[in-house]
Structure 1
Amino acid sequence: MPRAIWDGVISFGLIVIPVKLYGATEEKDPVLHQVHAEDGGRIRYRRVCEKCGEEIPFEGIARGFEAPDGRVAVLTRQDMTQLPLRSGKTVEIVQFVDESEIDPVYFEKTYLVEATGVGAKPYVLLRDALAATRRAGVVKVALRSRESLALVRPRGDLLVMDTMLWPDEVRDPAFARPSAEVIASRAEVGMAESFIEQMTGPWRPDDFSDGYRAALEQLVAARLSGVPLPEEAPTSADQGGEVVDLMAALRASVEAARKRRQSAGDASPGADSGQGRTEEAG
């Protein structure tokens, strides 16, 4: 059973739902520490003040904001706890919205919402009403002493809460937009659409796996047992090259996708590899 990271109430209108929040995701990568390469000893860091040179205990550490002119505003833990957070233990749904209107770039982290005590009936009421109207509730919630915008929405038999970035935290994307002078021809778009159709299949998350994590676990196991890792031959994904003829590359991509689909039958594309996520992160 995971540990709840927040407990309080969600309210809409005059209805109050006592709830707890749990992280909806968890890290699976092996935990790696910094160690001395020669003997494996852990590397430890000391908290040293650069002004007086003294090592500072945790309870002596505060937060600080440095102004452009060099002045430092020291903020103690008491200062931080006294900041007004109206959304402390009660979060009120202030608006209902169509979730499809929200750009996914705003979403930060998802939490599972569990009803507690007498909250089960109003929890089910809110869940079913949101599902029937295809709406989500907008709230403000204080998690770990920081106020966040959030969305309460149904997910199957559960309610979940997605914390979101504030509007001024989302960067203006105009700088990354391609020049208006760059135009894809109708034939090129049509060929790209054909490729997309060949690679389209039902979303089955279990078909995908983290190839990097599997390789890291294999490497750790090999080091612990003192055996060498088998060498792998480079794959076609490792052999990059400049695309000279866009249409030719699209045709070849469509044909390759068609052949893979025929050989795999009805299997979902990407089911045999977890490389996609690792390559994007790299």
Structure 2
Amino acid sequence: MRAIWKGAVTFGLVNVPVKVYSATEDHDLSLHQVHDADGGRIRYQRKCEVCGAIVSYDHIDKAYQDGEQTVVLTADDLASLPEERSREIEVVEFVPSDDLDPIMFERSYYLEPDSASSKAYVLLRRTLEETDRTAIVRFALRQKTRLGALRVREDVIVLQSLLWEDEVREVRFPALEEHIRISAKELEMSEALVESFSSRFRPDVFVDEYQAQLRKLIEAKLEQGDALDTAATFGEQPETTDGASAEPIDLMEVLQRSIERQRGTKRAGAPDGGAGKPSTSKATATKTGTRKTKKTA
């Protein structure tokens, strides 16, 4: 891995020099666009609207237009901003870890100690672990001031950038404002269904089915060309719906059938009730065994 940024975590007078690494990577197959008539590559050019020249990145500046005037900002202008020059990841507060709404999480970065002694780094890591707190930090990265959270993962401090509050949209769905009555029996059966799917979350058993199928498609087309029979390659696919149903559903009946099918799946020997299939939700990872739910026959 290559460090993308170097600086220091600061809390109080404590200074923890660190290197920052991207914690995630994209394994999706890279596809480009071609002309359907002859297969020619489609490329996009950075063309100046004034002189018509094709412009390279090193001759491109940024600009802001307020409707009447345009302000051009050079790379030197942007680099001169105090926040951009800052090399500090400043801790502003320590909060209970469950205060953070996961919808605010953005990118994840690993922090590596960047000094002869890693004692300050280990001290911060141990403090976060022992107090079960998350450090809320401010920092600047790639021409943007960011809010972030420091937490511990496998003995490494992880920096997660957070969305600002006004970047999370408020939502109000009229259908949810109606008074919906849920009976005790419906809730009991729904909880029984959740219990039948319950497992510990193991990310290694989940795979990106779309990318696997895309690779299979590419390999098949390399062998067979445009004469490829996709039905023979992937098998006959069932008809899909848009998820909407014109007919009202009987929740009790659907819940009962779902429970019976899941029990049958487990009896057939599927691991963890089908864990490993993409359709299995992360919600199934919730604390197995913390609550004994009566299962409905």
TM bracket (short chain): 0.7 to 0.9
> Counterparts of 1:16 and 1:177 in 2: how far apart (Å)?
51
SS in 2 for 1:118: coil
Aligned residue number for residue 251 of structure 1: 256
- Check conservation: 1:24, 1:110, Cα contact below 8 A: yes
- 1:76-117 deviation line (CA, Å, top 9, x unaligned): 222222223077212221211111111111110111111122
Relative to structure 1, is the Cα distance of residues 241 and 84 closer, same or farther in structure 2, using a 3 angstrom cutoff?
Answer: closer
Aligned position for 1:103:
101
Hey, what's the Cα distance between the residues in 2 that align with 1:191 and 1:87? 57
Question: Match of 1:58?
Answer: 57
Shift of 1:140: 0.8
Take 1:61 and 1:31, find their aligned partners in 2: how far apart are those partners?
Answer: 26
- What is the TM-score with the length of structure 2 in the denominator? 0.83
Tell me the SS of whatever aligns to 1:139.
strand
Runs of 4+ that moved beyond 4 A: 235-241
| Matching of residues 1-282 of structure 1 within 5 Å | 2-67=1-66, 69=67, 71-85=69-83, 88-175=86-173, 178-226=176-224, 228=228, 229=230, 230-235=233-238, 242=245, 244-264=249-269, 267-275=271-279
Structure 1 Cα separation of the partners of residues 180 and 55 of structure 2 = 56
Q: Is the 8 A contact 2:84 2:143 kept in 1?
A: no
State the number of aligned residues: 274
Q: Distance in 1 between matches of 2:59 and 2:188?
A: 64
CA contact (8 A) 1:106 1:170 kept: yes
After TM superposition, the structure 1 stretch with the greater mean CA deviation from structure 2, 47-56 or 230-239, is 230-239
CA contact 2:152–2:158 (8 Å) conserved in 1: yes
Equivalent-residue separation in structure 1 for 2:58 and 2:10 (angstroms): 37
C-alpha deviation, 1:73, in angstroms: 3.3
Alignment root-mean-square deviation, CA: 2.5
Amino acid of the residue matched to residue 43 of structure 1?
I
Looking at structure 1, the residues matched to 273 and 179 of structure 2 have their Cα atoms a distance apart, in angstroms, of: 34
Give secondary structure in 2 for the equivalent of 1:178: helix
Residues 20, 112 of structure 2: 8 Å contact kept:
yes
SS of the residue 1:163 aligns to: strand
**Structure 2 residue matching 1:191: 3-state secondary structure:** helix
Counting aligned pairs with the same residue, the percent is 37
What is the rounded CA distance, in whole Å, between the counterparts of 1:122 and 1:94 in structure 2? 18
Q: What TM-score, normalized by structure 1, do the two folds share?
A: 0.87
- SS in structure 1 at match of 2:63: strand
- Please state how far the C-alpha of 1:162 moved relative to its aligned partner: 0.5
Give unpaired runs (5+ residues) of structure 2: 282-297
**C-alpha separation between the residues in 1 aligned to 2:68 and 2:201?**
53
| 225-234 or 215-224, which deviates more | 225-234
Could you list the runs of 5+ residues in structure 1 that have no partner in the other structure? 278-282
Q: SS state of the match for residue 176, structure 2? A: coil
| More displaced 10-residue stretch of structure 1: 211-220 or 71-80 | 71-80
2:273 is matched by which residue type in structure 1? Answer: P
SS in 1 for 2:6: strand
